[in-house]
Amino acid sequence: CRTVGGPGMAGAVPLDARMSPKLTVGYRDLVAASRSVVTEPGERVHSHEFHRTITTSLRGTAGADVAPAWLVDAGPGRTEGLASASVLASYQHVHWAGYPQLAQRFAQACAAFGNAGRSWQAPVGPQRLPAPDLRHHGDAQLRPGLVDLAVNVRRAPEWLLTAVAARADQWTGYPESGAARQALAARYGLEAGQLLPTAGAADAFTLVARTFPGRKVVIVHPQFTEPEVAWRTAGHQVRRSMLRADEGFRLDADRIGADADLVVLGNPTNPTGVLHPAAEIGRLVRPGRIVVVDEAFMDFVPGEPESVLAGDLDGVLVTRSLTKLWGIAGLRAGFVAGDQTLIGELARHQEPWAVSTPALDAMVAIASGQADRVAARILDEVATERAFLVDALRAAGFPVAGEPRTPFVLVDVSSLGVANPPEALAAEGFAVRRCDTFPGLGPDWIRVSVPSEPISAALVEALVRVRGD
């Protein structure tokens, strides 16, 4: 520091420091905000903070060409420490045994210093970590001529299209949601007052965010980004709780702050494919808190054993999309279900005729016994094709996150050694979902929709070619 409590110090980093009577202590989730002597932008670590020091940054003064070292708790608001090509100054203690790449870079930097005649190359300039584009979705990866592995929808079955078109003469009138509400409630073992049809799950997020204002919201990431957009747009305080790759992206309810009065998470989660135990989600419930569970892909899990719809719904809201399994994204069909008091509030705030007649007719058809029989065949196909894809990826040296239960998988492609894996695969004829737009992930992850076995084999061959094997 330049000074500590007044007396001058070496000034190796542009900080003034003073001691505080208050002890700062805690465990933190960090994302490297800049390139430093030991970190690369976007790397995630877990740290321990324990000190009684208050620092004042002198960034911007002469000779202070440094950048923030860390984003704390993986959020955009709080930064900590300073970083440059030769410095990482921080009160966040990171154990090198857990992150050996940091130790390796430090050793390499020391060797480079000695080999350069005890001098150091001036930094080119701090490289900042860009904020994720929360409004980026898989369809942005699609281009003519590419095999679509970026979007999570199937082709709609003919019987469903026929059922929707059969009532085309009703489209001249205003929509009436009663039949769809009754049919879906019966399908999921609920009372009609516990369920509200919506124009897809994204519409449900916006409705919940606007209906219950002034909340301290925690979004569990990585997950679908539209919930965070909805709550931020509605003016809520939003924090992020990051699931860790080295823990299989599994939920730990104890890591959610006690002051959060609304928690949002996906199950199974997009893009990780992880299915969280309903019992662990249940531990999030407490008086005064609303727990919102996005179950958009739960209908891909046979029997839905971890759906919270089967349990106590006090304080719980569940959003569902009906477009993924049935290939009707253009119809915008979904629902929100749960605590009957909360559903009543949502119904009072929902816009009139919010869901179209074709979408409502599709809901009635999807709640039928015929749909259950067709869905069972689809789930068998997806499970077989997913197992083939996962085995092929892992055999070729591309790790897949966890044990996915979704029609997509999250793949670690860091071994490719390229800056933009989706672009490299586009050159091979495949569109995949980039994942650096999901908070908590980076450019070395891609999401791949489960295709037929021949296409899976061709994709793995393309990955191997890009890697240069």
Is the model's pLDDT at 415 over the cut of 70?
A: yes
**Inside any domain, residue 92:** yes
Mean pLDDT for the stretch of residues 113-138:
53
CA angle 127, 132, 136 (to 5 degrees): 135
**Given pLDDT bands bounded at 50, 70 and 90, which one contains residue 101?**
confident
**Inside any domain, residue 17:** yes
253/357 same-domain check = yes
User: Which of the residue ranges 28-32, 101-105, 134-138, 380-384 would you say has the lowest mean pLDDT?
Assistant: 134-138
3-state secondary structure of 365: helix
Domain boundary among 367, 401, 434: 367
338/384 same-domain check = no
Mean pLDDT for the stretch of residues 203-209:
95
The pLDDT assigned to 9 comes to 74
Choice between 203 and 64, residue whose per-residue pLDDT is larger? 203
Burial 360-395 (b: 16+ CB within 10 A, else e): bbbbbbbbeeebeebbeebbeebbebbebbbebbee
200/279 same-domain check = yes
Mean pLDDT for the stretch of residues 362-380:
93
The pLDDT assigned to 123 comes to 45
245/292 same-domain check = yes
Q: Pairing relation of β-strands 216-221 and 262-266?
A: parallel
The pLDDT assigned to 118 comes to 52
282/394 same-domain check = no
**Given pLDDT bands bounded at 50, 70 and 90, which one contains residue 13?**
confident
376/363 same-domain check = no
**Inside any domain, residue 275:** yes
Task: Kindly state the DSSP code that residue 400 receives in the 8-state scheme.
Answer: B
The pLDDT assigned to 103 comes to 82
Task: Tally Cβ neighbours within 10 Å of residue 191.
Answer: 12
pLDDT in tens, 376-406: 999 999 999 999 999 999 999 999 999 999 9
Is the model's pLDDT at 458 over the cut of 50?
A: yes
User: Which of the residue ranges 62-66, 430-434, 440-444, 451-455 would you say has the lowest mean pLDDT?
Assistant: 62-66
**Inside any domain, residue 129:** no
**Inside any domain, residue 229:** yes
Is the model's pLDDT at 282 over the cut of 70?
A: yes
The pLDDT assigned to 62 comes to 46
259/246 same-domain check = yes
298/255 same-domain check = yes
355/330 same-domain check = yes
**Inside any domain, residue 341:** yes
Q: Among 318, 309, 399, 325, which Cα is nearest to 363's?
A: 325
What's the CATH number where 237 sits? Answer: 3.40.640.10
183/294 same-domain check = yes
Tally the residues of the chain: 469
Q: Pairing relation of β-strands 88-89 and 67-72?
A: unpaired
- Domain extent at residue 301: 159-367
Kindly report the pTM of this predicted structure: 0.71
How many domains are contained in the chain? 3
Q: Among 257, 215, 253, 261, which Cα is nearest to 240's?
A: 257
The pLDDT assigned to 3 comes to 79
Choice between 55 and 368, residue whose per-residue pLDDT is larger? 368
pLDDT in tens, 321-358: 998 899 898 899 999 999 999 999 999 999 999 999 99
What's the CATH number where 461 sits? Answer: 3.90.1150.10
Q: Among 330, 316, 400, 358, which Cα is nearest to 172's?
A: 358
**Given pLDDT bands bounded at 50, 70 and 90, which one contains residue 135?**
low
**Type and span of the H or E element at 56:** strand 44-57
The pLDDT assigned to 134 comes to 64
The pLDDT assigned to 413 comes to 95
Choice between 109 and 458, residue whose per-residue pLDDT is larger? 458
**Given pLDDT bands bounded at 50, 70 and 90, which one contains residue 301?**
very high
67/14 same-domain check = yes
pLDDT in tens, 207-257: 999 999 878 999 999 999 899 999 988 888 889 999 999 999 999 999 998
The pLDDT assigned to 353 comes to 94
Looking at the chain, the whole-number percentage of residues with pLDDT higher than 90 is 58
Q: How far apart are CA 178 and CA 196, in angstroms?
A: 10
**Inside any domain, residue 81:** yes
Domain boundary among 367, 402, 423: 367
Domain boundary among 367, 393, 423: 367
* Mean confidence (pLDDT) of the chain: 87
Alpha helices (H) along 9-99: none
Mean pLDDT for the stretch of residues 436-460:
94
**Given pLDDT bands bounded at 50, 70 and 90, which one contains residue 55?**
confident
174/47 same-domain check = no
Q: Among 205, 245, 208, 213, which Cα is nearest to 229's?
A: 205
Residue that has been written with the tokens 């029609």 in this structure: 407
pLDDT in tens, 66-96: 778 888 875 556 778 888 877 888 888 888 7
